[in-house]
Chain A
Amino acid sequence: AAAKIAGVAKVHVADNAAYEHALAENVAPLIVDLMGHHDAFLAPATTTGKNVAPRVAALLDVAQLSDILSVEGEKTFTRPIYAGNAIATVESSDAKLVITVRGTAFEKAAAEGGSAAIEDVAGAGDAGLSSFVGAELAKSERPELTSAKVIVSGGRALKDSETFEQVILPLADKLGAAVGASRAAVDAGYVPNDYQVGQTGKIVAPEVYIAVGISGAIQHLAGMKDSKTIIAINKDEDAPIFQVADVGLVADLFTAVPELTGKL
């Protein structure tokens, strides 16, 4: 499928059981080998990309650029610092570039229209340092948070996990939205931690972000303030979330959200 993506000239395939779970110890040397005849390595700023890219950079003895927002020149990029409260423009002086890319900052390439050559590559395989034991993936039939067009997010004000489900999920289902949460809601155990939106959770930029019962701490804003439209429902009219919200409703979420769900 990668060969069909518009803009891709060549696809390298390394088919080896050692690469199955993308363990950094095994994958990084493989990429370093390929960098002999490539000038730049880019990965999405996902947990996999963030795990592997710095290891590749250090093996190549180059600095890595994290989470770039734009490409300003051949070696010049912008990236967020201080939880998105400042944007740095940086220029690399290294011969090779290793970069992770913020997915929400760039348009998706067309999945069709390309015709790339496929080339098999061999890697060293298992470095013998690490092994995969198992995974516990959260089950969800809703859209994935980082690619959803609409996100409904809940905060500490939701009280407990039952209330969170009763109030947030019907609204999300009505809108075909993904469900997110603030750190407070995650720490309080209302939802699993992969729901967390923020500096230490996921960075999202949907068309519409609906923040329900979220005060809007800077760490949370870092994860969602690039959303196209932000809607806030909060009973505290001084909550900082209203400073970034395009549309705000000062109301008790326990009456307003079910009413909203009912009227959609």
Chain B
Amino acid sequence: MKIIVPVKRVIDYNVKPRVKSDGTGVDLANVKMSMNPFDEIAVEEAIRLKEAGKAEEIIAVSVGPAKAQETLRTALAMGADRAILVETDEEVEPLAVAKILKAIVGEENPGLVILGKQAIDDDSNQTGQMLAALLGRPQGTFASKVEIDGDSVAVTREVDGGLETVKLAMPAIVTTDLRLNEPRYASLPNIMKAKKKPLDSKSPADYGVEIAPRLKTLKVSEPPVRQAGIKVEDVDALVAKLKEMGVA
């Protein structure tokens, strides 16, 4: 069985994003970029399935600018076998990414596609579900446990009230939640080896996918700033404040 793992290059999660003063977006010039944290978890899960003898090959895919190559090399250094970069400098919405992934799934016929549950830049949480819809296959979103059993996969999902387990016929689409696993670091020798692993470069047109955005961003603004607060001296003063607010 093959596993496809889509990965996205995003602003590093430790960086506080700054909104451009002209309101056109977030300033990404000279900002540290990394693999989306949920995608690292997806790559890790694919590698663990391969190590357990459940998968033979892992293909990492990224849709984005030429620099997304670095993100794919990271996935290769972690343990993916080969990579496909679908290169474009345009911003690609989840629906268009899902359509590109659908075409790749058509060529590769994986048993599983494992995605992160959301990218920490657009916070959409859509691509996996959309891919499953386009393929007419089942989806196991927000996974905290994935167990393959023959031609089905049991996915334990993090839902609002706790956990829920669903059984999906394979091929299936899984999206990862934070607690699925702890991603490994790529070792230096593996980073060197990853440079020799195959990386195919493609374009959205190769897959016949139209990537023009459906949503137009009119403006990006700073969230409302909170008024500076006060510090109280002791617990009594805090109790007084709580009473003032009518909480206590």
Contacts and interface: CB of A to CB of B under 8 A. Distances in A.
Contact of B223 (A85, A187, A231): A85
Contacts of A93: 214-216
A80 B229 contact: no
Interface stretch (B79-87, B104-112, B236-244): B236-244
Interface string B214-243: 111111111100110111101111110110
Interface in A154-209: 174-175, 183, 187, 192-194, 199-200, 202, 207-208
Interface in B154-170: 154, 157-169
Given A46-B160, A47-B160, A94 B214 contact: yes
Contact of A58 (B134, B159, B221, B245): B134
A35 B166 CA distance: 27
Nearest to B135: A58
Given A87-B220, A135-B163, A199 B123 contact: yes
B130 interface: yes
Nearest to B237: A249
A66 B223 contact: no
Interface in B117-168: 120-134, 136-139, 141-142, 144, 154, 157-168
B239 A260 contact: yes
A55 B84 CA distance: 25
B138 A25 contact: yes
B168 A246 contact: no
A256 B223 contact: no
A84 B229 contact: no
B188 interface: no
A129 interface: yes
Contacts of A260: 235, 238-239
A218 B168 CA distance: 35
Contact of A54 (B130, B137, B159, B218): B130
A60 to B, nearest CB: 9
B231 A242 contact: yes
A116 interface: no
B162 A83 contact: no
Contacts of B179: 187, 193
B218 A76 contact: yes
Mostly helix, strand, loop or mixed at chain B's interface?
Answer: mixed
A81 B165 contact: no
Given A93-B214, A199-B120, A58 B165 contact: no
In this complex, the interface size class of chain A, counting residues with CB under 8 Å from chain B, is 35 or more
A132 B164 contact: yes
B19 interface: yes
Which of B93, B123, B218 is the most central at the interface, judged by chain A CB atoms within 10 Å of its CB?
Answer: B123
A208 B247 contact: yes
A199 B13 CA distance: 11
Given A86-B26, A87-B220, A129-B168, A57 B126 contact: yes
Nearest to B168: A130
Contacts of A245: 229
B16 interface: yes
A247 B241 CA distance: 8
Mostly helix, strand, loop or mixed at chain A's interface?
Answer: mixed
A36 interface: no
B19 A86 contact: yes
A249 B218 contact: no
A108 interface: no
A245 B230 CA distance: 8
B43 interface: no
Contacts of A249: 231-232, 234-235, 237-238
B13 A219 contact: yes
A142 to B, nearest CB: 13
Interface string A207-226: 11000000000110000010
Given A57-B130, A246-B229, 15 more contacts: A23-B166, A51-B129, A58-B131, A80-B223, A84-B223, A85-B19, A86-B223, A129-B137, A136-B163, A137-B161, A231-B241, A246-B226, A247-B231, A247-B238, A250-B231
24 contacts: A23-B166, A47-B157, A48-B159, A51-B139, A55-B133, A59-B133, A63-B95, A76-B218, A80-B123, A82-B123, A86-B220, A91-B218, A93-B215, A130-B139, A132-B166, A133-B154, A133-B167, A138-B162, A199-B123, A231-B238, A249-B232, A249-B238, A251-B234, A260-B235
Interface of A: 21, 23-25, 28, 46-48, 50-59, 61-67, 76, 80-94, 128-138, 146, 150, 174-175, 183, 187, 192-194, 199-200, 202, 207-208, 218-219, 225, 229-231, 233, 237, 242, 244-251, 256, 259-260, 263-264
7 interchain residue pairs of minimum CB distance? A54-B129, A58-B133, A58-B130, A63-B214, A54-B126, A129-B138, A137-B162
